[in-house]
Amino acid sequence: MDAIKVQVILFWAAVTVYVAATCLNLIAIIFRKPNLTNFSPYLAVIGFLPHTAGIILRWMQTGHFPYWGKYEVFNSYAWAFILLYLVLFLIKRELKVTGTVLFPVAFFMIGIALTGSKETTEIPSTFLTYWLGVHVAFAKLAYGSGLISAFFGGLYLWRAGKSNTDSGEDVPGWVPSLDFCDFYTYRFAVFAFICMSIMIGAGAVWAYKAWGRYWGWDPVETWSLVSWFVYGTLLHLRVTMGWRGKRGAWLSIIAVFIVLFSYFGMPLIYDTVHEHLEL
């Protein structure tokens, strides 16, 4: 059995576990059984093991961390999001609720990855640099953090909406308090902004080494800067004008859609030097 077939089997094994974790979370939400989410971290570990093995095999096969083409990019993003989930769970057990969004995003990303070409291609030597590694790593952290910030923003709006109804319907037990959601909407937005700053800075250094210029107003570069400004504006409005609660929640949701458009939408619309993002 060749390396690609083994990778595909390992990735499908990970998808199966992440789907099971997603279903478990949905059952906990629909039937109001919050204790079921206690099994989510264990499922995450079970799925993460074959997922990691597949990433390592691909790395050994190509000689570089998986960041080129749909098959590698989406698989590595899914892996980074599950790793982020596990780290957050270890830091604070209550953050296991982030699996509600990270599990389905991860298995959809792997599913998309598996539709891409799995053949290895020779990449330019300029891509095999330390600064590109830093750029890619912090991009994953930035986008994962932005997604979680928007998730807590959405939870805040949901819980606030239920609290304002006259139906008397109880808020599901798995939904954190308004203060908890507001706190982490802001904290993850801060982390996303910091990671995005490092991502852009490292990308500029790498661009200079690769093309002899720090900035070229490439569409992906430009919209990454737009995303950075959006998060900077979000944080500025919160700190200086007290935009918290519902306004902060809506801003976090808008911000993550801009991020998703800048990273995944722009390469579909315009030609870009970020050809490794080609879908």
- Average pLDDT on 209-222 reads 74
Q: What are the extents of the domains in the chain?
A: 1-122, 124-278
Average pLDDT taken over every residue of the chain: 82
**pLDDT tens profile 77-132:** 899 999 999 999 889 888 888 888 899 999 888 888 888 777 777 776 666 677 77
- Average pLDDT on 201-212 reads 80
Q: Which tokens sit at 175?
A: 């939904």
The Cα–Cα gap between 46 and 77 comes to 18
Q: Report how far Cα 259 is from the mean position of its chain's Cα atoms.
A: 10
Q: Is the pLDDT of residue 192 over 90?
A: yes
The Cα–Cα gap between 171 and 164 comes to 11
- Average pLDDT on 138-146 reads 89
pLDDT of 275: 55
- Phi and psi at 149, nearest 5°, equal -60, -45
Per the CB < 8 A criterion, the answer to whether 15 and 107 are in contact is yes
Q: Which tokens sit at 274?
A: 């970020």
- Average pLDDT on 254-269 reads 77
**pLDDT tens profile 2-41:** 777 888 888 889 999 999 989 888 888 777 777 777 788 8
Q: Is the pLDDT of residue 139 over 50?
A: yes
Lowest mean pLDDT among 60-69, 148-157, 221-230, 235-244: 60-69
Per the CB < 8 A criterion, the answer to whether 164 and 24 are in contact is no
Binning pLDDT at 50, 70 and 90, where does residue 168 land? very low
Q: Is the pLDDT of residue 165 over 60?
A: no
pLDDT of 128: 67
Q: Which tokens sit at 169?
A: 């319907």
Supply the DSSP symbol for 32: T
